[in-house]
């Protein structure tokens, strides 16, 4: 059989893109390269499939497999069987194909000795990305059912010389203890001291870790699963071993004969440098490979108005007046938040609030040149809603009490089909361009035995067969409606989320400082567009407006018609500025130039476009004392740059070395004030800007 497989591998056609080299050698090693990194695996005489190394072809940094222990991306287990690097596997097929997003995929198919499981391992690389993405799918070949109890999405063991490691992770948003607002947490991986985290809907951390050694060799990793995941890293000085893991929590997946189980994909990548470099490599991978394509290209992220300042006390006349004002101010998206329907889960317009019909409001918004959005919580329903009265058996066993509503189990097929039909009807009836998806704990917990999902496998079922399946079904049928992830304020920050949503809130409408804090942390693992901000202030000064300038969509959550003429004029001017810089920020490398925002501190965050060698920096004084000197990053020390300001009339020319080493003083006259700084090569032709 091996000779047959070898022949298949040698017959692989020439790869579509020259920089890829997916090679199988006579020594039964697979060498996968995209010209940026190279990963090596071996199929041994013992029939084990083993990871050997991953290295950067640019820097020479190499991460080798741990000594005295075998490492493999395949790791799952049933009650009686563990399939990992030590289990002999028969290789039965191998293929290499070009895939979307300028990528190549190597698929290796194994059978467990005795034929119990068929295992499909996919290894992927993409053009110009220092990242290996992978996934495992298993099929039950036995005549009896089996239960998968463990699946590790991050099964890696690296050899690490003595010297210690640093690890970064980032919290999610949470208003309940332990509180979280995307704080970056840096930890020392000390001998035998594991760092643990939990990610997924309503868990504590984002689904990302970054690790580096004293020489700035770094690893980044992320996993594409919205359910609860128990992850971590551990370093042993004695064994010179770094162990990574990300296991699906409470997994108990029943596989009938012939049934398959998909372990959610994950990725591991290389970087060399600081945490900003780790973030940049992750963000570019998301934007080029994983992320949902944003609408309208460089016109995104949008300037937005959302009705939540009125809470549920909304009416079509109030909304029409706000729509008129939003259009005058340059808004591009108008969202009607919670309160438009007759009730949560009763997704029909409230006839008292909309006597002319909600479609009439939508048409009016469109006539003003804006897109129309609606809030919907697809997995929630009020106790008195028709769906709960008629189908109480569709409810999940653990209610999350989103505004007092009950929780619908999305992995129960009849419930999911009904929710799907309602969302499609809402989109069509009201001409909806944008869905603001909300809810408490988006991956529901349900152990009902009368549902179509396995009652003993709630976490995986409700994530994959529930929320994922619903979103995929809607988006296939209505591809032109964009989705925003709210999840009760930014509590489902995963690399599966980015595949379904064009943006995500990073915290609720908590004010200027909290908004900057959230963006500061979220822009380590996620591209800036996945950190939209809700602004409740009335835009009275540039401290308020510019605190919301950096990131994804800028969402005004105030009463526009109550703003003074001076506030409206300021907001219009600031929205124009936002539109000028949003494209550059969205594609930039983010530099966190100071410590995170806090009272009594001046903070600065920079978006740098390496291909244009230009930057936008937002500097905010928050009750700080003394002058502030800005020292940007990422510039060419020998090149001369023009330095301009949004408010300050100065125009300076300085070399990159002067800017990065000596800095430039920033004028921030008020105790709460902000400035936008522009850096671009002095020799650039203004006509090309």
- In tens, the pLDDT along 39-67 reads 999 999 999 999 999 999 999 999 999 99
Q: What is the pLDDT of residues 619-666, one digit of tens each?
A: 999 999 989 999 999 999 999 999 999 999 999 999 999 999 999 999
pTM comes to 0.96
- Listed in sequence order, the residues at least 6 apart from 544 whose beta carbon sits closer than 8 Å to its beta carbon are 512, 535, 537, 538
Rounded Cα gap, residues 679 and 644, in angstroms: 7
pLDDT of residue 191: 81
CA 350 to chain centre: 34
For strands 131-140 and 253-255, give the pairing: unpaired
For strands 628-630 and 89-99, give the pairing: unpaired
| Average pLDDT estimate for 551-557 | 98
Task: Decide: 31 and 21 in contact? Cβ < 8 Å.
Answer: yes
Q: What are the backbone angles phi and psi of residue 511, rounded to the nearest 5°? A: 100, 170
CATH code at 590-688: 2.60.40.1180
- Position 163 pLDDT exceeds 80: no
- In order of 60, 231, 233, the CA distances from 209 in angstroms are 22, 9, 9
Rounded Cα gap, residues 247 and 198, in angstroms: 10
Residue 540, both tokens: 């009275």
pLDDT of residue 3: 36
Rounded Cα gap, residues 440 and 201, in angstroms: 9
pLDDT of residue 223: 98
Residues of the chain with CATH 2.70.98.60: 2-290
Rounded Cα gap, residues 80 and 71, in angstroms: 21
pLDDT of residue 16: 46
User: What integer best gives the mean pLDDT of the chain?
Assistant: 94
The answer to whether the peptide bond before residue 347 is cis (omega within 30 degrees of 0) is no
Q: What is the pLDDT of residues 597-621, one digit of tens each?
A: 999 999 999 999 999 999 999 999 9
What CATH topology corresponds to 2-290? Beta-galactosidase; Chain A, domain 5 (2.70.98)
pLDDT of residue 487: 86
> In the 8-state DSSP scheme, what is residue 569?
H
The answer to whether the peptide bond before residue 5 is cis (omega within 30 degrees of 0) is no
Res. 162 pLDDT band, cuts 50 70 90: low
Task: Decide: 371 and 433 in contact? Cβ < 8 Å.
Answer: yes
Res. 685 pLDDT band, cuts 50 70 90: low
Q: What are the backbone angles phi and psi of residue 182, rounded to the nearest 5°? A: 60, 40
Q: Which of 11-15, 457-461, 680-684 has the highest mean pLDDT?
A: 457-461
Task: Look at 298 and 515; give whichever has higher pLDDT.
Answer: 515
Rounded Cα gap, residues 69 and 159, in angstroms: 10
pLDDT of residue 604: 98
Q: DSSP string spanning 269-287? A: EEEESSHHHHHHHHHHHII
pLDDT of residue 176: 82
Query: Taking each helix axis from N to C terminus, what angle separates 565-586 and 316-329, rounded to the nearest 10 degrees?
Result: 60
Task: Look at 603 and 240; give whichever has higher pLDDT.
Answer: 603
Q: What is the pLDDT of residues 59-107, one digit of tens each?
A: 999 999 999 899 999 999 998 889 999 999 999 999 999 999 999 999 9
- Position 7 pLDDT exceeds 80: no
Residues of the chain with CATH 2.60.40.1180: 590-688
For strands 554-556 and 303-306, give the pairing: parallel
| Average pLDDT estimate for 261-273 | 98
Res. 6 pLDDT band, cuts 50 70 90: very low
- Position 231 pLDDT exceeds 50: yes
Res. 18 pLDDT band, cuts 50 70 90: low
Res. 333 pLDDT band, cuts 50 70 90: very high
């Amino acid at each position: 059989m091996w000779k047959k497989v070898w022949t298949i591998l040698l017959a692989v056609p020439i790869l579509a893109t020259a920089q890829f080299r997916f090679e199988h050698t006579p020594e039964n090693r697979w060498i996968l390269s995209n010209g940026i990194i190279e990963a090596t695996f071996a199929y041994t005489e013992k029939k084990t499939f083993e990871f050997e190394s991953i290295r950067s072809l640019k820097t020479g940094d190499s991460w080798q497999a741990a000594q005295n222990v075998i490492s493999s991306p395949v790791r799952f287990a049933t009650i009686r069987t563990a399939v990992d690097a030590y289990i002999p596997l028969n290789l039965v097929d191998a293929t290499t194909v070009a895939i979307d997003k300028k990528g190549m995929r190597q698929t290796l198919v194994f059978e467990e000795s005795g034929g119990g499981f068929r295992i499909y391992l996919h290894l992927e690389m993409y053009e110009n990305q220092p990242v290996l993405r992978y996934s495992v799918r298993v099929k039950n070949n036995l005549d009896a059912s089996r239960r998968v109890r463990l699946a590790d999405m991050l099964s890696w063991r690296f050899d690490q010389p003595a010297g210690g490691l640093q690890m970064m992770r980032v919290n999610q948003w949470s208003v309940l203890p332990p509180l979280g607002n995307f704080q970056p947490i840096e930890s020392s991986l000390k001998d035998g001291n594991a760092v643990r985290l939990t990610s997924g809907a309503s868990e504590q951390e984002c689904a990302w870790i970054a690790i580096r050694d004293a020489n700035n060799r770094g690893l980044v990793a992320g996993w594409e699963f919205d359910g609860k995941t128990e992850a971590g890293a551990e370093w042993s000085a004695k064994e010179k071993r770094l162990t990574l893991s990300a296991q699906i929590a409470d997994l108990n997946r029943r596989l009938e004969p012939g049934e398959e189980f998909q372990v959610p994909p994950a990725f591991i990548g290389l970087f060399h440098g600081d945490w900003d470099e780790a973030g940049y490599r992750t963000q570019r991978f998301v934007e080029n490979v994983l992320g949902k394509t944003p609408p309208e290209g460089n016109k995104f992220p949008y300037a937005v108005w959302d009705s939540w300042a009125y809470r549920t006390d909304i009416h079509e006349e109030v909304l029409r007046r706000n729509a008129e004002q939003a259009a005058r101010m340059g808004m591009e998206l108008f969202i009607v938040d919670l309160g438009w329907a007759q009730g949560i889960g009763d997704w029909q317009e409230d006839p008292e609030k909309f006597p002319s019909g909600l479609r009439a409001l939508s048409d009016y918004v469109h006539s003003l040149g804006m897109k129309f959005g609606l809030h919907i919580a697809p997995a929630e329903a009020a106790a008195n809603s028709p769906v709960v009265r008629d189908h109480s058996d569709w409810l999940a066993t653990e209610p999350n009490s989103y505004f007092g509503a009950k929780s619908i189990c999305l992995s129960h097929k009849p419930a999911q089909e009904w929710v799907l039909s309602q969302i499609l009807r809402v989109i069509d009836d009201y001409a909806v361009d944008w869905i603001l998806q909300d809810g408490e704990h988006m991956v529901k917990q349900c152990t009902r035995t009368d549902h179509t999902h396995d009652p003993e496998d709630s976490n995986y079922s409700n994530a994959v067969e529930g929320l994922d399946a619903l979103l995929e079904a809607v988006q296939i049928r209505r591809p032109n409606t964009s989705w925003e992830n709210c999840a009760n304020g930014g509590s489902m920050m995963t690399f599966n989320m980015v595949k379904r949503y064009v943006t995500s809130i990073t915290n609720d409408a908590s004010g200027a400082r909290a908004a900057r804090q959230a963006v500061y942390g979220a822009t380590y693992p996620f591209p800036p567009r996945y950190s939209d901000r809700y602004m409740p202030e009335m835009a009275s000064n540039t401290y308020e407006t510019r605190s919301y300038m950096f990131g994804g969509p800028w969402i005004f959550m105030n009463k526009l018609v109550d703003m003074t003429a001076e506030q409206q004029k300021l907001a219009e001017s600031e929205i124009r500025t936002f539109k000028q810089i949003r494209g550059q920020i969205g594609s930039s490398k983010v530099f966190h130039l100071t410590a995170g925002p806090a009272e009594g501190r001046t903070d600065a965050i920079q978006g740098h476009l390496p291909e244009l060698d230009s930057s936008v920096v937002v500097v905010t004084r928050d009750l700080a004392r003394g002058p502030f000197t800005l020292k940007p990053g990422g510039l060419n020390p020998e090149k001369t740059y023009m330095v301009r300001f949004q408010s300050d009339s100065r125009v300076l020319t300085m070399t990159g070395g002067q800017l990065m080493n000596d800095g430039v003083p920033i004028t921030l006259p008020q105790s709460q004030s902000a400035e936008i700084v522009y850096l671009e090569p002095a020799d650039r032709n203004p006509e090309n800007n």
